[in-house]
């Protein structure tokens, strides 16, 4: 950012205080004296962010200038290391702002996000496109064999050099300017996409004022809807939203087909209502910019650009991988659809199965086949107990202990905070934030207010990790009681948390979850395997009223129903993953791209059945357009190929808590972050590369040996 722009922005926000005043007024300008230097959320105000960002930009630019002006021959110690540690204030501000803007946003934070997006893009480009800096980095890279680097340092150097090239450092001056404009416009559009999606999600409400329209709904679902209505000053009514934990039980149990259709359609049409929050034009522009950027950098498509650094390497390999699973799942899904249509016909329904019917009739079949539904399980899945269960697993595997801390600042009353220790020594801080609210985006994720690393003097920096879900909230007289899927989601995000908590890297750029996108889900998804293991259920699955451990016959039913609906679950995911890949494999900008028609063509191409819709349609596909998973949504299944095989390492010993295998998983994968190639890490753990068979067997799409 040039000096004139800085002066203008400072004038607009009234930032005129001196350096001493900044330190006393703005929490970002002084060391935090909270326990473990957790952000002082009670002191941080919205108007602190912009001054902090601006100061952080200037600090990092000073650090970059010092690297460039160093008269000594470029080396790892005088170029790569200081570059890796530069911008610490910017990282600090960005992590806090990004986490709050996702989990507890408001109009002010959203406005700041739009304001800072182009500034951040410009700042990154100022660094990435600086030729003097790049020449020093390239000199170190070209002479890397003479620096006696550690394995981690070699990886940091390789990442740094390739990052500069992939971000345009080797382009001509004219092309660098083109890239700057593309990056700035792209940054604004991705922010706007997410903001539109949040607004669309919050806007829709299905308001019911007749008790007969609640037919079929369990008491717990009705009570929650009444509580939601009271929160919205609609006493005596019932409100259902398109937040997933509220929508899903309605679709499963409501006997009112017209209302199921209304709710599902509102969910399915998010961002596609031709209003001021419509995302179709934004998608078209993001896709165009990504194609232009990729071609400018010498790649055939954005997918080629992204996948070069992932395990899969090429779009062709991803498409082959997804198609193999698709071909196994499609006939299963067709059979499931026929089975649901059969029930409709048997009950005298004179209609064809539609997407808003799938959950309802699936629940009937599950009840008929297995005498099981989520309402039977919910009383045993009190959220506090599920959290205790995942802590128990982490203790048995890795020796971690979790203690509640009430003296640590938190950003919202819903947050629960834990200190994590091992053998009495502090490991990190874990914050868990579980319930939906208008200020929180949908979905579930894990992040960090501070990542693990060692500072430039070698001192350990411990992580502050945050786990965020949108789980079923407590009712007036009931605690939060989860579905089996929600319990699985908690364990999933906890796996990401463990990846960060057990990281043992030196450099921040390769610590924790700083790994290729199609490897990052391995630690999260392997944790899902413990959720319903009988040994684990005995620990946490206790009736919230009686304390009774979940009965063995219910566990048996749960196990038998484990592969139920697998065709549907697989196909709806793969449809979204294929949409993502098809968009990002385009090699020419399509100015008149019709988003709805493109979706239809792709789904028809693969033979998608009309009774199932993609898990994410384009207009609310946050992973692809705003969430960092562009040309990467496939990675959940790629990682499932890994985690299905990896869990076998435990099962083969006859002990799912085998400490020797757990130590190997920690030492070779969790603790290493991105310090090695992921294939090498996996082979070091497992002794071989994984194959797709374990995934197909795990999903019930192929018989086991």
**Distance from C-alpha of 34 to C-alpha of 153, rounded to nearest angstrom:** 32
**Distance from C-alpha of 319 to C-alpha of 303, rounded to nearest angstrom:** 11
Q: Which residue has the tokens 């005043």?
A: 21
Task: Please name the residues in contact with 34: beta carbons below 8 A apart, sequence gap of 6 or more.
Answer: 40, 408, 409
**Distance from C-alpha of 555 to C-alpha of 538, rounded to nearest angstrom:** 10
Residue among 113, 10, 136 at smallest CA distance from 66: 136
DSSP letters for 529-597: GGTT-HHHHHHH-B-TTT-PBPPHHHHHHHHHTTTTTHHHHHHHHHHHHHHHHHHHT--S--TT--HHH
Assess contact for 516 and 679: CB atoms under 8 A: no
Question: What are the backbone dihedrals phi and psi of residue 367, each rounded to the nearest 5 degrees, phi first?
Answer: -65, -40
Cα dihedral sign, 173-177-183-186: negative
Q: Is 616 helix (H, G, I), strand (E, B) or coil?
A: coil
**Distance from C-alpha of 37 to C-alpha of 468, rounded to nearest angstrom:** 20
Residue among 141, 122, 217, 552 at smallest CA distance from 380: 552
Assess contact for 240 and 262: CB atoms under 8 A: no
**Distance from C-alpha of 102 to C-alpha of 436, rounded to nearest angstrom:** 12
Other CB atoms within 10 A of residue 500 CB: 26
And the tokens for 8? Answer: 């203008």
Assess contact for 536 and 393: CB atoms under 8 A: yes
Enzyme catalytic residues: 493
Q: Rounded to a whole number, what is the distance in angstroms from the first to the last CA of the chain?
A: 61
CA distances from 117 to 50, 130, 166 (A): 11, 20, 20
Assess contact for 374 and 483: CB atoms under 8 A: yes
**Distance from C-alpha of 425 to C-alpha of 432, rounded to nearest angstrom:** 21
Assess contact for 402 and 420: CB atoms under 8 A: yes
Assess contact for 572 and 615: CB atoms under 8 A: yes
Assess contact for 402 and 416: CB atoms under 8 A: no
DSSP H or E run through 287: helix 280-296
And the tokens for 144? Answer: 């890397």
């Amino acid at each position: 950012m040039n000096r004139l722009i800085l002066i203008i922005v400072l004038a607009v926000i009234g930032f005129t205080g001196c350096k001493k005043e900044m330190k006393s007024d703005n929490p970002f300008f002084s060391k935090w004296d909270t326990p473990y230097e957790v952000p002082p959320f009670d002191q941080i105000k919205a108007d602190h962010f912009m001054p902090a960002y601006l100061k952080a930009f200037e600090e990092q630019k000073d650090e970059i200038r010092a690297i460039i002006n160093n008269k000594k021959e470029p080396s790892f110690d005088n170029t790569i290391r200081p570059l890796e540690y530069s911008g610490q204030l910017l990282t600090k501000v960005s992590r806090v702002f990004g986490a709050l803007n996702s989990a507890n946003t408001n109009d002010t934070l959203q406005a700041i996000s739009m304001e800072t997006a182009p500034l951040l893009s410009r700042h990154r480009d100022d660094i990435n496109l600086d030729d003097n800096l790049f020449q020093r980095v390239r000199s170190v890279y070209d002479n890397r064999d003479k620096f006696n680097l550690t394995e981690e340092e070699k990886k940091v150097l390789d990442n740094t050099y390739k990052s500069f090239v992939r971000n345009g450092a080797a382009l001509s001056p004219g092309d660098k300017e083109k890239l700057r404009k593309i990056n700035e416009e792209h940054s604004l559009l991705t922010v706007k996409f997410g903001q539109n999606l949040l607004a669309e999600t919050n806007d829709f409400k299905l308001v019911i004022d007749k008790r007969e329209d609640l037919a079929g709904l369990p008491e717990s679902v009705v009570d929650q809807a009444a509580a939601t209505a009271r929160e919205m000053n609609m006493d005596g009514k019932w409100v259902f939203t398109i937040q997933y934990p509220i929508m899903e039980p309605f679709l499963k149990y409501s006997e009112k087909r017209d209302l199921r259709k209304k709710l599902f359609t509102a969910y399915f049409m998010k961002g596609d209502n031709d209003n001021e929050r419509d995302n179709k034009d934004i998608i078209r522009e993001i896709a165009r910019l990504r194609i232009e950027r990729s071609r400018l950098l010498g790649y055939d498509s954005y997918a080629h650009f992204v996948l070069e650094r992932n395990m899969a390497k090429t779009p062709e390999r991803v498409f082959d991988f997804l198609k193999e699973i698709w071909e196994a799942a499609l006939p299963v899904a067709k059979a499931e659809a026929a089975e649901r249509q059969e029930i409709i016909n048997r009950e005298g329904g004179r209609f064809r199965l539609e997407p808003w019917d799938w959950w309802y009739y699936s629940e009937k079949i599950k009840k008929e086949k297995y005498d099981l539904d989520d309402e039977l399980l919910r009383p045993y899945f009190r959220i506090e107990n599920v959290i205790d269960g995942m802590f128990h697993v982490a203790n048995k595997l890795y020796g971690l202990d979790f203690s509640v801390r009430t003296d640590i600042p938190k950003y919202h009353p819903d947050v629960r905070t834990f200190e994590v220790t091992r053998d009495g020594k502090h490991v990190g801080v874990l914050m868990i934030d579980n319930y939906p609210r208008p200020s929180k985006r949908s979905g579930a994720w894990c992040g960090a207010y501070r990542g693990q690393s060692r500072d430039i003097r070698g001192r350990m920096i411990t992580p502050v990790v945050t786990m965020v879900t949108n789980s079923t909230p407590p009712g007036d007289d009931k605690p939060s009681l989860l579905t089996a899927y929600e319990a699985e989601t908690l364990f999933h995000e906890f796996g990401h948390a463990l990846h960060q908590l057990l990281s043992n890297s030196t450099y921040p750029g390769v610590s924790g979850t700083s790994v290729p996108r199609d490897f990052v889900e391995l630690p999260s998804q392997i944790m899902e395997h413990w959720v319903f293991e009988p040994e684990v259920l005995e620990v946490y699955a206790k009736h919230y009223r009686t304390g009774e451990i979940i009965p063995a016959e219910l566990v048996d039913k749960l196990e038998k129903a484990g592969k139920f609906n697998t065709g549907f679950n697989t196909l709806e995911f793969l449809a979204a993953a294929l949409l993502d890949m098809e968009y990002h494999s385009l090699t020419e900008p399509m100015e008149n791209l019709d988003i709805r028609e493109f979706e239809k063509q792709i789904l028809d191409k693969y033979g998608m059945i009309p009774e199932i819709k993609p898990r994410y349609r384009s207009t609310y596909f946050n992973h692809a357009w705003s969430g960092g998973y562009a040309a990467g949504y496939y990675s959940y299944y790629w990682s499932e190929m890994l985690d299905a095989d990896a869990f076998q390492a435990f099962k083969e010993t006859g002990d799912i808590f085998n400490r020797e295998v757990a130590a190997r998983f920690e030492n070779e994968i969790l603790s290493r972050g991105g310090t090695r190639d992921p294939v090498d890490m996996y082979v070091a753990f497992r002794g071989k590369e994984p194959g797709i068979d374990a995934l197909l067997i795990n999903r019930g799409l192929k018989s086991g040996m």
